[in-house]
Amino acid sequence: MRFISTRGAAPALNFEDTMLTGLARDGGLYLPEAIPGLSADEIRAMRGKSYEEIAHKVMFPYVSENFSSEDFVALIAKAYAGFGHEARAPLVQLGPNHFFLELFHGPTLAFKDFAMQLIGQLFQYALGRSGKRVTIVGATSGDTGSAAIEAFQGLSNVDVFILYPHGRVSEVQRRQMTTPTASNVHAVAVDGDFDTCQGALKDMFNDFTFRDEVALAGVNSINFARVLAQVVYYFSSAVSLGAPDRPVSFTVPTGNFGDIFAGYLAQQMGLPVEKLVIATNQNDILHRTLETREYATTGVIPSISPSMDIQVSSNFERALYYAYGQDGKAVAKEMASLKDTGKFTVSQGAYEALKYTYASGRVSEEETSAEIKRVLAETGELLCPHSAVGVKIGEAHLGATPMITLGTAHPAKFPAAVEAATGIHPPLPPRMADLFDRDERVTRISGDVEDMKALIRDRLV
Ligand SMILES: *Cc1c(COP(=O)(O)O)cnc(C)c1O
């Protein structure tokens, strides 16, 4: 299978090169040239299968050029062995027709582990085979960073630098990034917000001299391999509610649009998904775009759901690519306008295509707290603030079709917000109970990309 860029001007690559590259050289994001389909019978046959078996069925068509079936089975098994729940992604019921998919039983307590644990295995395997070495630089609003460090620490062919916005992540998130001791991981606190970090990362990728010098690799959700790993739980959860014979809808707490875009891919592969509902906090650029056609960035306002404090939603470009009828030139034009003016207006045709697939909603800070409290009282489920944004919007979109809201992080990752809403301080799982006693190691740096490049060069020698 070949992978092509959303901007139509970068060479097509196979899966392994797509994964090791991250961002395309024309600034676009990679997508499969054609999305492989699964028949209703193949989807029906997933009933009663393990998460790992479903993962193999869903992902193998994308990777078969680079991994044998047996090797891929083994890598999937290793990726999910460290999860704290047999089902990996258990589904619980919140109320009539409303279900909650717990995606936070991985090693760092957020859904990011589903993709990161797998690509840690895939990178190690691919680099071990080729003898190559790469430098992974990641930008994080909090959860990607810890998941990447957990997945790549101690690996011999990889150095990892994680850029996070100084003072804008929760203390648990920060400690998960600054306390690992492996010498190949580097936590970097950047003066700025998440968009500063992500913008600097994109600039590094677009500086081809630097990119080639350090063999830069990206594991942000711009990396297609991450999106692919997230397609699996759309299948596993929908099948457990009767798919393909019964359609479902999903509500997804959204920031960079990676998670919900995986739901679109699941739908295009043949899963009967009726609606994909984008749930945003007060940083609501995606909701405003679906209301007004105008994608216009404003400043990020810090919230109690920090992993969604994003105004430049990278993976939305992938949704636009399909909404614009796979016209890479049209996407490149809109992205150039975004870079120059901070906004663009979605074409009428593309807007109708987006509205056909996606719905959206926005939740204020007060509503988020109130929802954590309500759901605990009514169902006993203690939600993290991101999941609460999702559940609130999911509730507003309930209809005849079962709604599955994605639970994106464990409440213990955001204890201050959860305690403020409920009076309950959610404890960390025993395996990380000493997180607050471990020493922290972090480098503070300005938001200037040249300073970041100098730091990386310096650390690599
Ligand atoms: C990353 C993250 C999100 C947003 O996911 P995207 O794929 O960026 O849309 C939501 N909630 C939590 C807890 C996260 O870590």
Q: What is the model's pLDDT at position 431?
A: 83
The CA 179 to ligand 1 mean position distance, Å, reads 22
The pLDDT-based confidence of 220 (bands split at 50, 70, 90) is confident
In this structure, of 138-147, 353-362, 416-425, the range with the lowest mean pLDDT score is: 138-147
Domains and CATH numbers, the chain: 91-109+227-422 (3.40.50.1100)
Average confidence (pLDDT) over 427-444: 92
Residue pLDDT, tens place only, 11-31 = 999 999 999 988 899 999 999
What residue ranges line ligand 1, CB within 6 angstroms?
110, 112, 143, 221, 253-259, 307-308, 386, 408-409
Confirm whether 355 is a catalytic residue: no
pLDDT for residue 142 is more than 90: no
Average confidence (pLDDT) over 194-216: 94
Q: What is the model's pLDDT at position 433?
A: 87
pLDDT for residue 312 is more than 90: no
Q: What is the model's pLDDT at position 35?
A: 98
Q: Could you identify the atom of ligand 1 that is nearest to the CA of residue 254?
A: 9
Average confidence (pLDDT) over 172-182: 95
Q: What is the model's pLDDT at position 336?
A: 96
Q: What is the model's pLDDT at position 425?
A: 95
pLDDT for residue 461 is more than 80: no
Residue pLDDT, tens place only, 42-70 = 999 999 999 999 999 999 999 999 999 99
Q: What is the model's pLDDT at position 388?
A: 98
Q: Could you identify the atom of ligand 1 that is nearest to the CA of residue 409?
A: 13
The CA 259 to ligand 1 mean position distance, Å, reads 7
User: What percentage of the chain reaches a pLDDT higher than 70?
Assistant: 100
pLDDT for residue 144 is more than 80: yes
Residue nearest to atom 8 of ligand 1 (CA): 256
Residue pLDDT, tens place only, 270-293 = 999 999 999 999 999 999 999 999
Q: What is the mean pLDDT of the chain?
A: 96
Residue pLDDT, tens place only, 225-241 = 999 999 999 999 999 99
3-state SS of the chain?
CCEEECCCCCCCECHHHHHHHCECCCCCEEEECCCCCCCHHHHHCCCCCCHHHHHHHHHHHHHCCCCCHHHHHHHHHHHHCCCCCCCCCCEEEEECCEEEEECCCCCCCECHHHHHHHHHHHHHHHHHHHCCCEEEEEECCCHHHHHHHHHHCCCCCEEEEEEEECCCCCHHHHHHHHCCCCCCEEEEEECCCHHHHHHHHHHHHHCHHHHHHCCEECCCCCCHHHHHHHHHHHHHHHHHCCCCCCCEEEEEECCCCHHHHHHHHHHHCCCCEEEEEEEECCCCHHHHHHHHCEEECCCCCCCCCHHHCCCCCCCHHHHHHHHCCCCHHHHHHHHHHHHHHCEEECCHHHHHHHHHHEEEEECCHHHHHHHHHHHHHHHCCCCCHHHHHHHHHHHHCCCCCCEEEEECECHHHCHHHHHHHHCCCCCCCHHHCCHHHCCCCCEEECCCHHHHHHHHHHHHC
The CA 306 to ligand 1 mean position distance, Å, reads 9
Q: What is the model's pLDDT at position 102?
A: 98
Q: Which of 49, 57, 78, 112 is catalytic?
A: 112
Q: What is the model's pLDDT at position 452?
A: 97
User: What percentage of the chain reaches a pLDDT higher than 90?
Assistant: 93
pLDDT for residue 97 is more than 90: yes
Residue pLDDT, tens place only, 365-389 = 999 999 999 999 999 999 999 999 9
The CA 411 to ligand 1 mean position distance, Å, reads 14
